[in-house]
Chains A and B, each alone.
Chain A
Amino acid sequence: MRSPPVFPPRRTLSAALLALALLAALGAAPPATAQARADTLAAVHLLQRATFGVRQADVAALLREGRAAWLERQLSPDGIPNDGLAARLAAHPAAGMSVAELYRAFPPAQPARLVAELAGARLQRAVYGERQLEEVMTDFWFNHFNVFAGKAAVRWLVADYERTAIRPHVFGRFEELLRATARHPAMLLYLDNARSVAIDSSAPAYRRRQPRPEGPRRTPGLNENYGRELLELHTLGVDGGYTQQDVIEVARAFTGWTVARPGRDAGAGPGFVFRPELHDRGAKTVLGRALPAGRGEQDGLDVLHLLATHPATARHLARKLVQRFVADEPRPRLEAELVRVFLASDGGLREVTRTLFSAPEFHAAENRGAKLKTPFELVASALRATDAEVGDARGVLQTLRTLGQVPYAASAPTGYPATSEEWTNGGAMLARMNFALALAAGRLPGVRLPPLQAPGATPEARVHALARRVLPAAPTAELERRVLADVANAPGGASDVRALGLLLGSPEFQKK
């Protein structure tokens, strides 16, 4: 189920390891051609960006397989066995439950427990899943189409949203992804479209269902929230060339897209339903395109098609993908190539993702180690690098809360930021160091580290082995020297714990 312990007990130290340690201690590197070194660096860079963290063994495996073959395999995740994760997720059943099952298992009285369960499952997937690229892209697209578990009934819907609206489409067509999010009750409730009805709609059933506040009767009507975020965040981007009138027209087009009332609407269940009596039947004009009167649900579908195939959408998505996976600053040539591939493939996200992770601009030396890991990436990568065993995830979630990035807890429709700048400040750096120290010392509740005994007879060799473990291929001579200066006088076991803590909290490990 899990890989062998990272740091073998001293008695199992092989002669080969001793020899390696000796070589390292003498400052000699194993013979390697420049090409081999370049391949290793490229492999590590790909793993840094396309997975939730590099494990030492992953680098060797990827080098054997080749970058292109690895990427192809990850782009078709159904073919990758994932049994280890499945076994772990059995301990987190909430993430696999239907909405109705969740509502029974997690009654409204304990809202926090459900979100913690789901966030725990997300963490398990990130740390132990073999379909790493699928996990990373699910995280990206969920964040792009963010919903907040703390709003309304979204907490019971968010697992289904991720499972049915996001994950199956991350290597599919963008329009299908967009449509799946638009119709999902989590989105309909989060951005209030479920309550947006035609201004002149006569819908007595709907009115009766409104909670009656004190004071005068409330008239149902248009709600612009989804229409605006659909244009600004999901598709065209804030400078995508739409107007306030477009926002209103789009909101009108989506009137009637709402959430089914169990037992009252056909096919009941908390699913999507189009209710014609709430729809604005008038003609509309969106981005200069006329939508004739009286076409009901087709209005919304036409708007989604128009937006999904719009060049501004392609540009906006390319910018966001590059910002998350390549560099904080724009990369115009790569973005132009992504736009071209997106439009040529009819919004094919497998094609776009392949281009993103194989383009020469992705591998440019200036990108390596240049992005700050987000808190979630930091935590997941540290757990992966140390082969940590996460049982009860609540201790890790507490760390993520301190660092400010708990899954499903981003309240704004923009989701969590992806640029280094927004995660860099003094307090956050200290919180990262404290997490590193707690993890290394086995003080993180619910997390167990394999027996920590770095191979090597000398402190130099042990620090070197640990550095290789958490920072494969990075040039760490100076870092090792500084760590060594600190731990040299501590007794063996204590010094390994301290060295690991310093390495995981080092500036080098904060970068990817």
Chain B
Amino acid sequence: MISRRLFFKQGAVALLALGLPPASLAQALRTPRSAAARRKTLVFIFQRGAVDGLNMVIPFGEAAYYRQRRSIAVPAPRRGDAEGMLDLDGFFGMHPALRPLAELYARRELAVIHAVGSPDATRSHFEAQDYLESATPGRRSTRDGWLNRVLQQTPCAECRGRTLADPAAHAADHARGQAGAGLRGVALGEALPLSLRGAHPALALADVQRFGVGGGRAAGLEDAFARLYRTERGDAVHAAADEAFAAIEILRRADPARYQPRAGVEYPPGEFGQALRQIAQLIKADVGVEIAFADLGGWDTHVAQGGAQGQLARRLGALARGIRALHDDLGARMDDVVVLTGSEFGRTLAENGSGGTDHGHANCMLALGGAVAGGRVLGEWPGLEREQLYEGRDLAVTTDFRDVFAEVAARHLGAQRLDGVFPGHPSEPRRWRGLLR
């Protein structure tokens, strides 16, 4: 079987084989500053491993929450308790470790969507992760991700006059290097996540500063490898290398390393903090990033997850400090950025026998940015009494995660044909939750 990406890439590589040299290609890819000025960007943060959303944004108004979580419940907010849960609206509260985000909620820059999730019942991590990333729950044959399809369906400053009526042609145009391509979709990390895989070029970058070949030791190595990888029988491997060489050229010119974090901004230590710091650099360097993707794991808290303090609290702290640092670092540029979090499913309402929680169903998501209608917990709350739970044990889904994705794809990023992004799921505006202003 031949993947869609491969199919289009073969055409692209064939063109390259006709002699279009990488340097002039990169020249063509260079984004004009004016076009970048109002470029919209989505930063998607995948809480891979199923975060316990009920301890992230906590329905402290539910008696069942405290009945079912005897050792891991977070105590309800108390007046004058600076260390405790952060009251959002008298019913929901944020975990105390999310304080840096609760402040943004109070400033109406951050919204919560609760009881959001997949219509599919699976409690398998890998299956549910694939469904979230492909945005085709229940269909495992999907080979590309929703963020890649957004790129296919979104006009960009570089696509002069090119219609989106044929998204395949649009992706192929980019793959042929006719327009800014390599850095429209970027994942920080070693591997390209399924969300960004597909016909449109997208790039995984572990380290922006060391993205190159040979470390400057010998001349011409990039050109030499580019020649080895430029062949008429190109496949995904060749195509990936081509994208990398084009991106090297763009990064060399833009030199994102020049953009150091704003004074006073401190990213949390570790890979996640590094990823967000580099995303900020890429955005500030105007290299054309429309979608940036970062992973943060460590959420699969089957054992000893803790309550107000402990394992989950530490993880949430890293998440909140990272997002807050990105927000503060980007400053006014947050007007054009939306940060969205998601996780494959939630966890059981009841704690298990090990002071942890098992795989559940609905979860919560966070959205942050100048375009976000913040300061609200969005969605319909299904309740936590036994008869209100999904299969008698888990938070029920009242918002399809695709309707959250769709609102951001259409209203923030400008995706034109949502049926192309979410096949089989006509996401109409009436199903959106009013996440954006």
With a cutoff of 8 Å between Cβ atoms, the chain B residues found around residue A478 in the complex are 231
A162, B222: Cα distance in complex, Å:
41
Check if B214 is an interface residue, CB within 8 A of chain A. yes
Min C-beta distance of A441 to chain B, whole Å: 8
User: In chain A between 453 and 512, which residues have their CB closer than 8 angstroms to a CB of chain B?
Assistant: 478-479, 482-483, 485-486, 498, 502, 505-507, 510-511
A382, B353: Cα distance in complex, Å:
48
Let me know if A428 and B190 touch, CB within 8 A. yes
Min C-beta distance of B311 to chain A, whole Å: 10
Let me know if A211 and B70 touch, CB within 8 A. no
Q: How many residues of B contact A (CB 8 A)?
A: 68
Check if A425 is an interface residue, CB within 8 A of chain B. yes
Let me know if A199 and B71 touch, CB within 8 A. no
A396, B318: Cα distance in complex, Å:
30
With a cutoff of 8 Å between Cβ atoms, the chain A residues found around residue B391 in the complex are 244
With a cutoff of 8 Å between Cβ atoms, the chain A residues found around residue B1 in the complex are 329
User: In chain B between 109 and 156, which residues have their CB closer than 8 angstroms to a CB of chain A?
Assistant: 121-127, 143
A431, B355: Cα distance in complex, Å:
41
| A218 nearest in chain B by CB position | B71
* Cβ 8 A contact of A437, one of B3, B221, B227, B310: B221
Let me know if B190 and A482 touch, CB within 8 A. no
Let me know if A429 and B241 touch, CB within 8 A. yes
* Cβ 8 A contact of A223, one of B224, B236, B308, B358: B358
Instruction: Pick the interface stretch among B89-97, B198-206, B406-414.
Output: B198-206
Instruction: Pick the interface stretch among B33-41, B299-307, B367-375, B425-433.
Output: B299-307
Min C-beta distance of A271 to chain B, whole Å: 20
Let me know if A425 and B192 touch, CB within 8 A. yes
Known: A216-B71, A221-B352, A498-B218. A426 touches B247 (CB 8 A): yes
Check if A56 is an interface residue, CB within 8 A of chain B. no
Check if A423 is an interface residue, CB within 8 A of chain B. yes
User: In chain B between 351 and 371, which residues have their CB closer than 8 angstroms to a CB of chain A?
Assistant: 351-356, 358-359
| A405 nearest in chain B by CB position | B190
* Cβ 8 A contact of A428, one of B3, B126, B212, B240: B240
A426, B196: Cα distance in complex, Å:
13
Check if B82 is an interface residue, CB within 8 A of chain A. no
Check if A232 is an interface residue, CB within 8 A of chain B. yes
Let me know if B191 and A211 touch, CB within 8 A. no
Check if B244 is an interface residue, CB within 8 A of chain A. yes
Check if B321 is an interface residue, CB within 8 A of chain A. no
With a cutoff of 8 Å between Cβ atoms, the chain B residues found around residue A486 in the complex are 220, 224, 227
Let me know if B228 and A483 touch, CB within 8 A. yes
| B218 nearest in chain A by CB position | A498
Min C-beta distance of B74 to chain A, whole Å: 10
With a cutoff of 8 Å between Cβ atoms, the chain A residues found around residue B297 in the complex are 411
* Cβ 8 A contact of A434, one of B49, B213, B307, B355: B213
Let me know if B302 and A427 touch, CB within 8 A. no
A372, B6: Cα distance in complex, Å:
14
Let me know if A437 and B213 touch, CB within 8 A. yes
| A401 nearest in chain B by CB position | B190
Check if A421 is an interface residue, CB within 8 A of chain B. yes
B325-358 CB contact bits vs A (8 Å, 1 = yes)?
0000000000000000000000000011111101
Check if B63 is an interface residue, CB within 8 A of chain A. no
* Cβ 8 A contact of A430, one of B217, B244, B356: B244
With a cutoff of 8 Å between Cβ atoms, the chain A residues found around residue B224 in the complex are 486, 498, 502
Let me know if B240 and A425 touch, CB within 8 A. yes
With a cutoff of 8 Å between Cβ atoms, the chain A residues found around residue B248 in the complex are 430
Min C-beta distance of A202 to chain B, whole Å: 13
Instruction: Pick the interface stretch among A29-37, A47-55, A189-197, A315-323.
Output: A189-197
User: In chain B between 83 and 103, which residues have their CB closer than 8 angstroms to a CB of chain A?
Assistant: none
Check if A217 is an interface residue, CB within 8 A of chain B. yes
* Cβ 8 A contact of A218, one of B212, B247, B308, B351: B351
Known: A426-B203, A479-B228, A485-B227. A213 touches B70 (CB 8 A): no
With a cutoff of 8 Å between Cβ atoms, the chain B residues found around residue A420 in the complex are 236-237
User: In chain A between 180 and 208, which residues have their CB closer than 8 angstroms to a CB of chain B?
Assistant: 192, 195-197, 199
With a cutoff of 8 Å between Cβ atoms, the chain B residues found around residue A215 in the complex are 70-71, 73, 307
With a cutoff of 8 Å between Cβ atoms, the chain A residues found around residue B354 in the complex are 192, 195-196, 220-221, 223
Check if B215 is an interface residue, CB within 8 A of chain A. yes
Min C-beta distance of B379 to chain A, whole Å: 24
Let me know if A434 and B71 touch, CB within 8 A. no
Let me know if B240 and A424 touch, CB within 8 A. yes
With a cutoff of 8 Å between Cβ atoms, the chain B residues found around residue A511 in the complex are 237
Check if B238 is an interface residue, CB within 8 A of chain A. yes
Known: A217-B70, A437-B214. A423 touches B228 (CB 8 A): no
Check if A228 is an interface residue, CB within 8 A of chain B. yes
Min C-beta distance of A167 to chain B, whole Å: 26
With a cutoff of 8 Å between Cβ atoms, the chain A residues found around residue B191 in the complex are 404, 422-423, 425, 428
Let me know if A510 and B126 touch, CB within 8 A. no
Check if A82 is an interface residue, CB within 8 A of chain B. no
| A239 nearest in chain B by CB position | B140
Check if B229 is an interface residue, CB within 8 A of chain A. yes
Check if A402 is an interface residue, CB within 8 A of chain B. yes
Check if A345 is an interface residue, CB within 8 A of chain B. no
Check if B197 is an interface residue, CB within 8 A of chain A. yes
With a cutoff of 8 Å between Cβ atoms, the chain A residues found around residue B71 in the complex are 213, 215-218
User: In chain A between 233 and 249, which residues have their CB closer than 8 angstroms to a CB of chain B?
Assistant: 238, 244, 247
Known: A192-B302, A421-B236, A424-B236. A507 touches B227 (CB 8 A): no
With a cutoff of 8 Å between Cβ atoms, the chain B residues found around residue A199 in the complex are 353
A423, B73: Cα distance in complex, Å:
40
| B190 nearest in chain A by CB position | A404
Check if B211 is an interface residue, CB within 8 A of chain A. yes
Let me know if A426 and B228 touch, CB within 8 A. no
With a cutoff of 8 Å between Cβ atoms, the chain A residues found around residue B388 in the complex are none
Min C-beta distance of B301 to chain A, whole Å: 10
Let me know if B214 and A434 touch, CB within 8 A. yes
Min C-beta distance of A65 to chain B, whole Å: 33
Q: List 12 A-B contacts (CB under 8 A).
A: A192-B354, A195-B303, A216-B70, A219-B353, A238-B124, A244-B391, A402-B190, A426-B182, A426-B241, A429-B244, A502-B224, A505-B228
Show the binding face of A for B, using Cβ within 8 Å: 192, 195-197, 199, 210-211, 213-225, 228, 232, 238, 244, 247, 329, 372, 402-404, 411-414, 420-431, 433-434, 437, 441, 478-479, 482-483, 485-486, 498, 502, 505-507, 510-511
Since A192-B354, A421-B143, A430-B248 are in contact, a sample of 16 more A-B pairs with Cβ atoms closer than 8 Å, ordered by chain A residue number, is A213-B71, A215-B307, A223-B303, A224-B358, A244-B121, A402-B206, A403-B190, A412-B126, A414-B126, A421-B3, A426-B182, A433-B213, A434-B215, A478-B231, A486-B227, A505-B225
User: What are the 9 A-B residue pairs with the smallest beta carbon separation, nearest first?
Assistant: A221-B353, A426-B244, A404-B190, A425-B192, A218-B71, A425-B204, A195-B354, A486-B224, A427-B204
